[in-house]
Structure 1
Amino acid sequence: MPGRHPFTGHGPAAAGDCATPVLNAQLNIGDGRFIDLPVRFVYRARAPFSVVMEFPGSDPAVGTWEFARDLLWKGLHRPAGMGDVRFAPPCRCHGRRLLRITLRGDDGTASIDVPVEPVHSWLRERSFALVPRGGEAELIDWDAELGRLAGGR
């Protein structure tokens, strides 16, 4: 689910926020050609189920993508995802050593190859340290969410 979630990356992150350093990813432009694409993953404890993937320095029209943190974790280990966001882990048999993220939107499909180790380490050492896997629901004010969904705000 694409959406705009700015994260300036200047100064310390807000309490409960963490981000990877800017990673050098590769955007597949077809015919076995790639161009460099900076990416950063951001986690916010106030939105405990999701991770935002940003493209620092890119045209604002590129936007950001938000998807389940658990989906990213699964995608590091096995193919995961349906619909707009899909992950394919490194595959030795095909000579691919990077995490492939496929994003599908109204304007087309993009395949982005991201280094695995920094994402894996960041999830384990930073994101899961803020909110352990399985502990996300404890941070949600379910009464407020139900009220918002029912139109009560």
Structure 2
Amino acid sequence: MPGRQPFPDQGPTAGADCAVLTVAAQLHIGEGQFIDLPVRFGYRGAEPFSVVMEFPGSDPAVGTWEFSRDLLWKGLHRPAGTGDVRISPPCRCHGRRRLRITLRGDDGTASIDVPVGPVQGWLRESFALVPRGREAELIDWDAESRRLVDGR
């Protein structure tokens, strides 16, 4: 995202207003075939509705994805999303024990499996920064309206 500050490393030094998690994920490339890749999730209290998903060390063409924190939370419990980002919980009946995030872009679709436990813990950390359902209280709606009217 242009103008976005990079997320600091995860852990206690990540900062008081952000939560960062890097996990070993798997990119689904075919029936039962995966490629390991790191995925970093970032959350900032200053942008309370969204999470950022990055691929450290990957080709810049892979991109950075920004989507609803609530979508990620819902996807831990049931299939969620109808647009470019869809999230499915683990499905033991099909042998999948990880959270699946499907990203759809102009160049195709990618399915990425991430471990559930670390994502749940990281989301709890983000809820400690901004409780779920309280995000709108942190938005300066007048400033946002002006920005939209001014076209910035």
TM-score, length of structure 1 as denominator length? 0.91
**1:129 corresponds to 2:128:** yes
2:133 maps to a residue whose letter is G
Alignment of structure 1 residues 113-124 onto 2, 5 Å: 113-124=113-124
After superposition, the CA RMSD in angstroms is 1.7
1:13 maps to a residue whose letter is A
* In structure 2, distance between residues paired with 1:96 and 1:32: 10
Alignment of structure 1 residues 4-153 onto 2, 5 Å: 5=4, 6-9=6-9, 12-20=13-21, 22-124=22-124, 126-151=125-150
* In structure 2, distance between residues paired with 1:106 and 1:8: 29
Q: Deviations along 1:38-61, whole A, 9 cap, x unmatched?
A: 001100011000000011111122
1:131 maps to a residue whose letter is V
Pairwise CA distance, 1:152: 7.7
- Number of equivalent positions: 149
Q: Which structure 2 segments of 5+ residues have no match?
A: none
Match of 2:150, SS state, is: coil
Pairwise CA distance, 1:93: 1.1
Say if 1:117 and 1:144 are closer, same or farther in 2 by CA, change over 3 A: same
Pairwise CA distance, 1:8: 4.3
Task: Work out the percentage of aligned pairs sharing the same amino acid.
Answer: 74
Say if 1:152 and 1:92 are closer, same or farther in 2 by CA, change over 3 A: closer
Pairwise CA distance, 1:29: 0.9
Say if 1:25 and 1:152 are closer, same or farther in 2 by CA, change over 3 A: closer
Match of 1:81, SS state, is: coil
Native 8 Å contact 2:8 2:20 kept in 1: no
Q: Deviations along 1:32-85, whole A, 9 cap, x unmatched?
A: 210001001100011000000011111122111000000000000000001100
* In structure 2, distance between residues paired with 1:92 and 1:18: 29
* In structure 2, distance between residues paired with 1:84 and 1:52: 14
Native 8 Å contact 2:8 2:15 kept in 1: no
Pairwise CA distance, 1:31: 3.0
Q: Deviations along 1:94-134, whole A, 9 cap, x unmatched?
A: 1110000000000000000000000001111x100000000
Match of 2:7, SS state, is: coil
1:39 maps to a residue whose letter is V
